[in-house]
């Protein structure tokens, strides 16, 4: 992978490719090399791009949009379908937020404390990526350390990979770790080399300098200016959507017969009056709620159509 190469090694590999396939004079290859700083990971490492190196996110959005629209619909239908898509995406976001807040993942690695520490701060999807790096760190070995003024530089190698090594600088006060692979600067997730150094140093909790705020469960709090312990409204929205699913099914089944309808309606009205009283929302409108719903709902009377005689209507 080009992402594993340094700039010098990449240029060497590129030259070997040109010699092997005789592409020195090929115009497309020459143009591609001139634009290497736009696509080659060896050159763009260290620039934050949140893990995206292609148009995959845009293409994924287009594929979702195609499920709701097609070229033959009119403008009104397009707006309606587009709003449906937006509602669906917001619903998925609420579900993802709820899944991140509630439930603790089962530890899978040997580094229990570091894994639990990451689970507490990262969202569910980012934690999966972080745990993958923890798994990879098992293959890393710290083979040496160079003491410099103000920091220590640890030399890390992969198991049975003697020709490749990475350098991780560690500063204790203030805590700061940087790796020559620059994965942390590019993606915002600590690499397996840094995690191997943390294991070597017997660190039990993920340092704050390695936790990017945009990947944490509290990322939306700063955007919305909400510093409360309740985080955002996703938990409330998730409960609302869950109850709505039950009420939809209840309404569908209860409305099939009149007796079931009256029974369930009265129970819902009583529950609503009770919870309004608990929340302090009781008012004249709330007291009159029972009278409002006491109206009997039946099928409308069949009216005679024009020109129909009384005898025919019998």
Nearest residue to 130 via CA among 53, 202, 92, 184: 184
How many helices, marked H, and strands, marked E, lie in the chain?
Answer: 15, 4
The answer as to whether 302 is a domain residue is no
Residue 7, token pair as written in the block: 């700039």
The answer as to whether 19 is a domain residue is yes
Nearest residue to 276 via CA among 187, 268, 144, 7: 268
Predicted pLDDT of residue 98: 83
**pLDDT tens across 235-254, in order?**
677 777 778 888 888 888 98
The answer as to whether 222 is a domain residue is no
Polymer length in residues for the chain: 314
Predicted pLDDT of residue 305: 60
Residue of 209 and 240 predicted with greater confidence? 209
Domain boundary, last residue among 170, 190, 217? 217
Predicted pLDDT of residue 312: 47
The answer as to whether 223 is a domain residue is no
- Please tell me whether residues 116 and 184 are part of one structural domain: yes
Predicted pLDDT of residue 108: 87
Is residue 161 scored above 70 in pLDDT?
yes
- Count how many domains the chain has: 3
Q: Are 156 and 168 a contacting pair, CB within 8 Å?
A: yes
What's the whole-model pTM score? Answer: 0.62
* Residue ranges making up the domain that contains 79: 2-101
Residue 265 CA to residue 109 CA, distance in Å, equals 52
Top-confidence range, 45-54, 183-192, 273-282: 183-192
Predicted pLDDT of residue 302: 64
Burial of 257 (0-12, 13-18, 19+ CB in 10 A): exposed
Residue 32 CA to residue 140 CA, distance in Å, equals 34
- Please tell me whether residues 56 and 84 are part of one structural domain: yes
Is residue 3 scored above 70 in pLDDT?
no
- Please tell me whether residues 159 and 253 are part of one structural domain: no
**pLDDT tens across 87-109, in order?**
888 888 888 888 888 877 888 88
Predicted pLDDT of residue 42: 83
Q: What is the mean pLDDT of the chain?
A: 82
The answer as to whether 157 is a domain residue is yes
Residue 303 pLDDT class (50, 70, 90 cuts): low
- Give the residue-averaged pLDDT of 45-69: 79
Predicted pLDDT of residue 105: 82
- Please tell me whether residues 73 and 116 are part of one structural domain: no
For helices 124-137 and 192-200, the axis angle rounded to 10 degrees is: 70
Residue 157 CA to residue 139 CA, distance in Å, equals 9
Residue 164 CA to residue 155 CA, distance in Å, equals 10
Predicted pLDDT of residue 92: 86
Is residue 288 scored above 70 in pLDDT?
no
Predicted pLDDT of residue 130: 95
- Please tell me whether residues 32 and 75 are part of one structural domain: yes
Residue of 42 and 177 predicted with greater confidence? 177
- Give the residue-averaged pLDDT of 220-248: 65
Nearest residue to 221 via CA among 123, 88, 116, 103: 123
The answer as to whether 69 is a domain residue is yes
Domain boundary, last residue among 80, 101, 122? 101
- Give the residue-averaged pLDDT of 201-213: 92
- Give the residue-averaged pLDDT of 263-268: 90
For helices 75-101 and 56-66, the axis angle rounded to 10 degrees is: 120
Is residue 228 scored above 50 in pLDDT?
no
Other C-beta atoms within 10 Å of 93: how many? 13
Give the distance from CA 313 to its chain's centroid: 64
Domain boundary, last residue among 52, 82, 101? 101
Is residue 169 scored above 80 in pLDDT?
yes
The answer as to whether 310 is a domain residue is no
Residue 24 CA to residue 20 CA, distance in Å, equals 10
The answer as to whether 297 is a domain residue is no
Is residue 214 scored above 50 in pLDDT?
yes
């Amino acid at each position: 992978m080009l992402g594993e190469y340094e700039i010098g090694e990449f240029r060497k590999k590129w030259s070997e490719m040109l010699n092997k396939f005789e592409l020195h004079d090929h115009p497309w290859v020459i143009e591609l090399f001139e634009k290497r700083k736009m696509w080659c990971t060896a050159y763009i490492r260290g620039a934050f791009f949140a893990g995206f190196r292609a148009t995959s996110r845009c293409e994924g959005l287009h594929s979702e949009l195609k499920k709701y629209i097609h070229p033959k619909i009119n403008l009104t239908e397009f707006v309606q379908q587009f709003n449906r898509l937006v509602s669906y995406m917001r619903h998925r976001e609420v579900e993802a937020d709820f899944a991140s807040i509630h439930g603790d993942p089962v530890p899978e690695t040997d580094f229990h404390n570091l894994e639990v520490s990451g689970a507490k701060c990262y969202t569910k999807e980012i934690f999966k990526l972080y745990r993958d790096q923890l798994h990879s760190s098992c293959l890393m070995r710290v083979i040496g350390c160079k003491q410099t003024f103000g920091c220590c530089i640890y030399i890390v190698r992969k198991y049975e990979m003697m020709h490749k090594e990475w350098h991780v600088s560690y500063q204790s006060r203030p805590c700061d770790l940087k790796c020559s692979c620059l994965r942390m600067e590019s993606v915002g997730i600590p690499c397996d080399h840094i995690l191997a150094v943390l294991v070597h140093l017997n660190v039990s909790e993920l340092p704050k300098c390695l936790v990017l705020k945009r990947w944490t469960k509290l990322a939306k709090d700063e955007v919305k200016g909400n510093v409360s312990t309740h985080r955002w409204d996703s938990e409330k929205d998730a409960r609302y959507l869950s109850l709505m699913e039950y009420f939809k099914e209840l309404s569908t089944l209860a409305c099939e017969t009149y007796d079931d309808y009256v029974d369930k309606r009265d129970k819902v009205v009583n529950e609503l009056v009770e919870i309004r009283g608990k929340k302090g929302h009781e008012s004249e409108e709330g007291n009159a709620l029972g009278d409002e719903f006491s109206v009997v709902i039946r099928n409308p009377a069949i009216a005679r159509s024009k020109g129909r005689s009384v005898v025919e209507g019998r």
